Amino acid sequence: MKNIIITFLTILIILSLFNNVYAEGANHSSIYKLLFNDYNNILKKNSWKTTIDGHEFRAYRYKNGYQKIIVHISSESVENIVEHRINVTHNKSVAQRSFKFRDSENTPENIRRIILPYLIQIQHKPYEAVPEKSYTVSAFVGYNQFHDRYILPRKPAGSLILGFDLVYNPSRFSTLPTEELGTGDYLSFFAYISANSRIREHTYDIHYLLTGTKNRSSNSSDNSIEISGIFMGLEYFRPEANFDDFTWDEDVYEHHPHIQYFVFRAIAWEYLYENNSGLLQAFNFMAGCGPSVNSSLNATNIPEEEEGELSPIFRSNFYGDRRQNFYYSVSIPLKIGLTLSLTNSITVDTELKSYIFFSIEGEDAYDLLNITRISPAYRLTESLSAKFSWEYWNIHSMLDNTHKNNHWNRLILSMHYNII
């Protein structure tokens, strides 16, 4: 009995190698499956993500914006003619075509020969593109000033800043409830420079998705989208004061920035949520780690005669013309942000950023930096908003049991223009 079963299974396997669905009269579902499998193999090579669901084939990709293809096949037999109707949606472009076969010619081989080329050409045909909508971009101009102990500035020592904020998120216009996102399917890039010769300040912050998922809930009461996944990122902050009357306390070195950092987030987990049903509600969270470079209060405000005693972990001490200090570290950055629209015109944006930098060199040193920001904004027109931001910066530096603390306030007044 056992041998019969083995022989039977072997013959079954052998027959399956010859693919019995080639037999005339195979049912439509298996024909579609073969057709869709062939189509699937071709699209996957071109970075499409696909799903096959009986008579329907879905594919999407984020190349040059968002592209979606849905193919639906239905069949009908009248007398000895079988008609296969193909409905194709490529983004918003819709096409339909029928293929009629005699019963005797309605074989999988014929159907693939005739219909597969029709499906393949879809990805090359013009479609209603949505690439511009993949981007959300705003530019801003503002005035920015750091102060020490006081919230309101005592001296007019700020700088004009020019910046922009770009988010590339092609998945925000896809209506599929769940999508797998790949490398580069989400990117945000925020940067500004100060246009002032006395105080120069440069910053940028990049979030780049490596892999993740998008979930969308779209109904009358809930219109939300959430993206979560593994990101990579880069953040840079460096101010340079270039005048004598610098407002910070104990300004021993007028050219000496108290704080500067650069973080390469080699890996970070991020969660982004946005709900647009009624008033905007948005939330984001990020936790990551990676190599970094940062300054320390323990190498700031050191009298020139004591500089030689600085810890060797500090690079580019205040020797010669190198007016800065920093040490190499590993950092753990955390970020939580919340945006709420109170009315159609007023939005409040809050953010807490926290960084801990551990020295990777010989000495026992760390720095803890916290930045809290509250930014109410008023929408003047459809695309123009006025924003006021107050930030509180607090830093704690430790080097060989020497602890130092400092904190600053910062005010930013800015006008934001939504380009798209």
Partner 1 sequence: MRNKTTSICILYKIIFTVIILCVSINAYADADSGAGYKGILLFDSDRSHSILGDVYENNILNIFGLPVLYSYPGKSHNTNTDGIIITASEMHEDGIKSIKFTLNTALNKNRSLQIVWSLPENADNADLYRTSLQNAVAGAIHSKKRDVHSGLMNLYASSDKIRNFTVEYTDNETTEISGYTLDVSTTPVNGGKFWRTMGEITALNVIGEIDYYMKIDSNTDDWEYQPTFQGFSQKVADGPEFDANNFSTNVAGHIYSGSLYYTSARSNGYSFFESSLFALGGSLMWEYFGEYKERASTNDMIFTTMGGALLGESLTQTSLFVERSFRQSMGRDVLVFLLNPMRVVNQYLDSRSGNSYRVRINILPPAKEDILHMARK
Which letter does DSSP use for residue 128 in this model?
Answer: B
Decide whether 347 or 367 has the Cβ nearer to partner 1. 367
The helix (H) or strand (E) run that includes residue 118 is helix 108-120
218 makes contact with partner 1 (CB under 8 A): no
Q: From the list 48, 140, 248, 326, which residue makes contact with partner 1 (rule: CB under 8 A)?
A: 326
41 makes contact with partner 1 (CB under 8 A): yes
Q: From the list 22, 54, 103, 131, which residue makes contact with partner 1 (rule: CB under 8 A)?
A: 131
Q: Give the other-Cβ count within 10 Å of 29's Cβ.
A: 13
5 makes contact with partner 1 (CB under 8 A): no
Q: Rounded to whole angstroms, how far apart are CA atoms 284 and 262?
A: 21
Decide whether 83 or 372 has the Cβ nearer to partner 1. 83
The helix (H) or strand (E) run that includes residue 282 is strand 281-294
186 makes contact with partner 1 (CB under 8 A): no
154 makes contact with partner 1 (CB under 8 A): no
189 makes contact with partner 1 (CB under 8 A): yes
What is the greatest pairwise CA distance in the chain? 102
Q: Are 282 and 274 in contact (CB under 8 A)?
A: yes
Decide whether 36 or 341 has the Cβ nearer to partner 1. 36
- To the nearest whole angstrom, how small is the minimum distance from the Cβ of residue 163 to partner 1? 13
The helix (H) or strand (E) run that includes residue 112 is helix 108-120
Instruction: Encode 378-387: b = buried (16+ Cβ within 10 Å), e = exposed.
Output: ebeeeeebeb
Q: Are 323 and 341 in contact (CB under 8 A)?
A: no
Distances (CA, A) of 400 to 298, 300, 413: 10, 15, 40
183 makes contact with partner 1 (CB under 8 A): yes
Which letter does DSSP use for residue 313 in this model?
Answer: T
Q: Rounded to whole angstroms, how far apart are CA atoms 66 and 244?
A: 52
417 makes contact with partner 1 (CB under 8 A): no
330 makes contact with partner 1 (CB under 8 A): no
158 makes contact with partner 1 (CB under 8 A): no
Q: Are 376 and 340 in contact (CB under 8 A)?
A: no
- To the nearest whole angstrom, how small is the minimum distance from the Cβ of residue 344 to partner 1? 26
Total of chain residues touching partner 1, rule CB under 8 A: 62
- To the nearest whole angstrom, how small is the minimum distance from the Cβ of residue 373 to partner 1? 22
* String of contacts with partner 1 for each residue 98-117, x by CB under 8 A: xxxx---x----x--xx-xx
Q: Rounded to whole angstroms, how far apart are CA atoms 64 and 281?
A: 28
- To the nearest whole angstrom, how small is the minimum distance from the Cβ of residue 241 to partner 1? 14
7 makes contact with partner 1 (CB under 8 A): yes
105 strand-pairing partners:
none
Residue ranges that bind partner 1, judged by CB under 8 A: 3, 6-7, 10-11, 14, 17, 38, 41-42, 45-46, 97-101, 105, 110, 113-114, 116-118, 120-121, 124-125, 131-132, 135, 137, 166, 168, 183-184, 187, 189, 202, 204, 206, 208, 232-234, 236, 238, 260, 262, 264, 266, 291, 293, 315-316, 322, 324, 326, 328, 361, 419-420
